[in-house]
Structure 1
Amino acid sequence: MIDRLVVVEDAPEIREMMVLYLQNAGFEVYSTDSGRQCLLMVERLKPALVLLDIGLPDLDGLTVTAQLRRNQPNLGVILVTVRDEDYDRVVGLEAGADCYLTKPLNLGILLAQVRSLLRRCGGGDRESDYSLSLGRFRIDLLRRHIVNQDGVDVSLTPGEFAVLIGLIERRGHAVNRHELLTFLRRGQEDAEDIDVRTVDALIVRLRRKLEVSPNRPQLIMTVYGKGYRLANEAEISQ
């Protein structure tokens, strides 16, 4: 089973570097720049481990760590920060972090810490936790597989699934086309030939496959001036 990680870092270049490195190491990786979004993602995605920057703009990493530890006592938490004072280390560990890494990051050490902590935590959560509901559909994120309420497979292309993953990661929030383009370009040899018009085309195709009425979407909604938003489960009419 592939272990699922969440990277929480407000510096885009550092976040992307960590995500790509950990993906190349064989992990399933989600990311955000928000402490509040991290709490929602952990609740929804049930990761095995969170790599968490302390200096987040909305909710500091120590507060997030304490709340994660209350809600998910078996979750692995690694704090990542520019701070390197003993006091900060003590406060971070007392808040519930398992270990503490400082920037600039040594990616080899980061990977070793991730693997070590996963061994101590017993690896990721149950395989059944790698799935989520989307209206009439059940999405298996591990196998990249979707079935409807009748058990019939829904076939998505790799590009369609990449855009869907981008929406799932920020479910309930608007995601602009350039953010979705980042998901779409990952692992693509001809990535520079893909632009935001491709994202729009893939959204149209996803709606045709997933919406009851593609012209009146309930799952993938347009947020004018901001991008697209995947509806929360409570919003969806069954």
Structure 2
Amino acid sequence: MSITELLSMALRYEGWQIRSAGDGTGAIQTAREFRPDAVVLDMMLPDMDGLTVLGRLRRELPDVPVLFLTAKDAVEDRIAGLTAGGDDYVTKPFSLEEVVARLRGLIRRSGAADRRSDSVLVVGDLTLDEDSHEVSRAGENIHLTATEFELLRFLMRNPRRVLSKAQILDRVWSYDFGGQANVVELYISYLRRKIDAGREPMIHTRRGAGYLIKPAAS
């Protein structure tokens, strides 16, 4: 598994949406389209160096924090990266926990988390806007009925938490548990067809306990 894949998996596990690119041109295009809260950038890329990428990113996204993650560990390389506008500099080999912590700090200090609307729920690459009632996964819009939307919203407000059928009935359908568990199973199956079809699953069953949603494994 490559460093990019390993880091992407760790960040998705933290609940972040991730986009990656294999070269500088792709990184600039991806950042332009995705408008990230933070960028992790290598100094050494196939088509251009990291400092060139940073310069072009800064023209389009002047406030986005950039963390260099690179094998170039000489003092002059660190100084060059930070002087060019990088916000942090981590050398390989690195600790995944440290990179995650540094990214959290960069995003917090940049105010990106505060600027994001409180009405938007995000779990992995799945996004739900409570105001516009728009749902998308990996940028692809998903149409849900009103009941499907309420069920998904309840799951996404409680990521990685097992919710019993009784809890779901009470919150989504507003009545006590009483032989109606089949309606929960039915609507969970509807959601799976729309959310998980052809993708790594996010909605999971815990036999005898209930259901939960969490970021996909990859």
The bucket for the TM-score relative to the shorter chain is: 0.5 to 0.7
Which residue in 1 is equivalent to 2:34? 45
The CA deviation at 1:160 is: 3.3
Note if 1:116 corresponds to 2:87.
no
Structure 2 match to 1:32: 21
Q: Which runs of 5 or more structure 2 residues have no equivalent in the other structure?
A: 128-133, 144-148, 150-192, 201-215
Q: Residues 66, 93 of structure 1: CA spacing in aligned structure 2 closer, same or farther, 3 A cutoff?
A: same
SS at match of 1:87: helix
Do the aligned residues in 2 keep the contact of 1:144 with 1:161 (CA within 8 Å)? no
Per-residue CA deviation, residues 207-229 of structure 1 (Å, 9 max, x unaligned), is: xxxxxxxxxxxxxxxxxxxxxxx
Equivalent position SS for 2:19: strand
Partner of 1:159: 197
Deviation at residue 30 of structure 1 after TM alignment:
1.4
Within 5 Å, give how 1:157-236 maps onto structure 2: 157-160=195-198, 187=217
* Alpha-carbon distance in 1 for matches of 2:15, 2:135: 21
TM-score, normalization by structure 1 = 0.53
Instruction: Determine the structure 2 residue equivalent to 1:211.
Output: none
1:99 aligns with 2:88: yes
Aligned counterparts of 2:12 and 2:139: Cα–Cα separation in 1 = 15
* Structure-2 residue corresponding to 1:198: none
Q: Please, which runs of 5 or more residues in structure 1 have no aligned partner?
A: 1-11, 132-137, 148-152, 163-185, 189-238
| Cα pair 1:80 1:103 within 8 Å, conserved | yes
Q: Which amino acid aligns with 2:136?
A: D
| Alpha-carbon distance in structure 1 between the residues aligned to 2:110 and 2:30 | 19
Call closer, same or farther: CA 1:143–1:82 in 2, change over 3 Å.
closer
Match of 2:142 in 1: 146
Matched, 1:58 2:47: yes
* Displacement after TM superposition at 1:116 (Å): 0.5
The Cα shift of 1:70 comes to: 1.6
| Distance in 1 of aligned mates of 2:13 and 2:111 | 21
- Per chain length, whose mean CA-contact separation is higher, i.e. which structure has more relative contact order (CA < 8 Å, sep 6+)? 2
Deviation at 1:142, TM superposition (A): 7.5
More strand by share: 1
Provide the aligned C-alpha RMSD in A. Answer: 3.1
Cα offset, 1:65, TM superposition: 0.8
Query: Is 1:77 the counterpart of 2:115 in the alignment?
Result: no
Deviation at 1:62, TM superposition (A): 1.0
Q: Distance in 2 between matches of 1:84 and 1:140?
A: 40
Look up the SS of the partner of 2:76 in the other structure: helix
CA contact (8 A) 1:22 1:111 kept: yes
Given the two structures, how large is their TM-score scaled by the length of structure 2? 0.57
The alpha-carbon distance between structure 1 residues 67 and 139, as it changes in their structure 2 partners (threshold 3 A), is: farther
Measured in 1, the distance between the counterparts of 2:79 and 2:197 equals 44
Q: CA deviation at 1:87?
A: 0.8
One-letter identity of the residue aligned with 1:27: W
Aligned sequence identity (%): 32
Match of residue 3 from structure 2: 14
1:90-140 per-position Cα deviation (integer Å, ceiling 9, x unaligned): 111122110100001111111110010010111346458x99xxxxxx873
